[in-house]
Amino acid sequence: MEDAVLGRAARLWALLDEMAENQPQAYRRLLREQRAQAERFCARPEPRLCVRTLPAAGERHPGLCPARGAACAPLFVNVCGWRRVPGPAELRASIPVVAGPLEEATGGGDSYSVIDIAYNPDVLQMREENPEAMEHLIHLTLKFVEEQHNLILSHSYKIESFKLKGSPERMWQRLKGGQLPPPHLGQNTEKELTLDQLLHSIEAEDRSDAPVLLKEESITQSEVQLIEEISSTEVPEELSTPAYKMTTVRDANNKPVRIELKVELPKVSSVSECDLRISKDDVIIDVPEKYKLQLDLPELVDEEMTTAVFNKEKGVLFITAPVAKPGQ
């Protein structure tokens, strides 16, 4: 199994290397597109609404009702949109969800509990336009919380005027605790693997990690909804800054002609590991879990005519960027 995965990965790297050498403009375009997609995917969750509820009458829970005779603390459910969470594969398919831990907190002298629930933003947007569908999703969310934490909650709830209970940073820390299973490549052979298939195979095809499915009777007879729990992905943070040398080449009249950049990447074995983005005034090199470099260019350049060559033996990336003509 492991050998098969390594074999598919090797074919993928070889395809990207070939593309970088033979179709450099298409390769740069691919990197820019993937970079934009990665930025959307790695964006932090955005609060959309906060639901306040209580344990059902007569029910007790150590966190929500700590002492007999004492008033039960409210539970706040922060519902947020997160691009990291995939949308359902089909209209009536299960709805993936990422859930943070149930956490006790205090504020203003009062005790309460809070939990964060994240859906794909499109899931929420579709239901924000349909109050009945949103109500159904809230009921499913509360049912999911009950199942996960052995609670019985009141059937009544209140949507608060604020969108988030607590701070965005704390919500982010709670949600990013787990890790998504790695994406799986398709079964295509090297000859069958076209660029379009490559882009789709990089996406997560199998996101199930012993998923928990929650089913509740739908509000409308024509619709049955499922919630599927997945875990979140931790994004690596601290990356090394590689050694580099940037030179401005000038003509006989001391006019800048091109920018030459040499970047040492000794831990990189293939150009396919490098995410290179070049604009008119800066360059960004990102090698996941290894390097990160962002430089302002001394002159405006023609990014469409920029070339990049990676020397595998030396582990050095050479970038040549022609200086843009006036008015370009």
* 293 inside domain: yes
CATH number at residue 310: 2.60.40.790
pTM reported for the whole predicted model: 0.50
Residue where one domain finishes, among candidates 160, 177, 194 = 177
Q: What pLDDT band is residue 214 in, cutting at 50, 70 and 90?
A: very low
* 249 inside domain: yes
Q: What pLDDT band is residue 113 in, cutting at 50, 70 and 90?
A: very high
23-80 pLDDT, tens digit per residue, is 777 777 777 777 766 766 667 899 999 999 988 765 555 556 655 555 678 999 999 9
Domain count, the chain: 2
Residue where one domain finishes, among candidates 177, 193, 210 = 177
Q: Tell me, yes or no, whether 51 and 167 share the same domain.
A: yes
* 6 inside domain: no
Q: Answer yes or no: are the C-beta atoms of 240 and 287 closer than 8 Å.
A: no
Q: Which secondary structure element, helix H or strand E, spans residue 257, and what is its range?
A: strand 256-264
* 214 inside domain: no
- The C-alpha atoms of residue 252 and residue 260 are separated, in whole angstroms, by 17
Q: What is the mean pLDDT of the chain?
A: 76
Residue where one domain finishes, among candidates 177, 192, 221 = 177
Q: Tell me, yes or no, whether 50 and 160 share the same domain.
A: yes
pLDDT in the model for residue 51: 95
Q: Tell me, yes or no, whether 152 and 269 share the same domain.
A: no
Q: Tell me, yes or no, whether 50 and 172 share the same domain.
A: yes
Task: Tell whether the model's pLDDT for residue 170 goes beyond 70.
Answer: yes
Which residues are within 8 A (CB) of 155 and not within 5 positions of it... i.e. 6 or more apart?
56
Q: What pLDDT band is residue 231 in, cutting at 50, 70 and 90?
A: low
pLDDT in the model for residue 245: 94
* 23 inside domain: no
Q: What pLDDT band is residue 162 in, cutting at 50, 70 and 90?
A: very high
Task: Tell whether the model's pLDDT for residue 196 goes beyond 60.
Answer: no
pLDDT in the model for residue 298: 92
pLDDT in the model for residue 87: 80
* 300 inside domain: yes
At CA 173, angle to CA 32 and CA 137, rounded to 5?
85
Structural domain boundaries, residue 294 = 244-322
- Edge to edge, the sheet with strand 291-296 lists 275-278, 282-287, 291-296
Q: Tell me, yes or no, whether 158 and 54 share the same domain.
A: yes
pLDDT in the model for residue 5: 64
Q: What pLDDT band is residue 141 in, cutting at 50, 70 and 90?
A: very high
* 255 inside domain: yes
Mean pLDDT of 204-211: 36
Mean pLDDT of 255-274: 89
* 298 inside domain: yes
What are φ and ψ of residue 191, in 5° steps? -70, -30
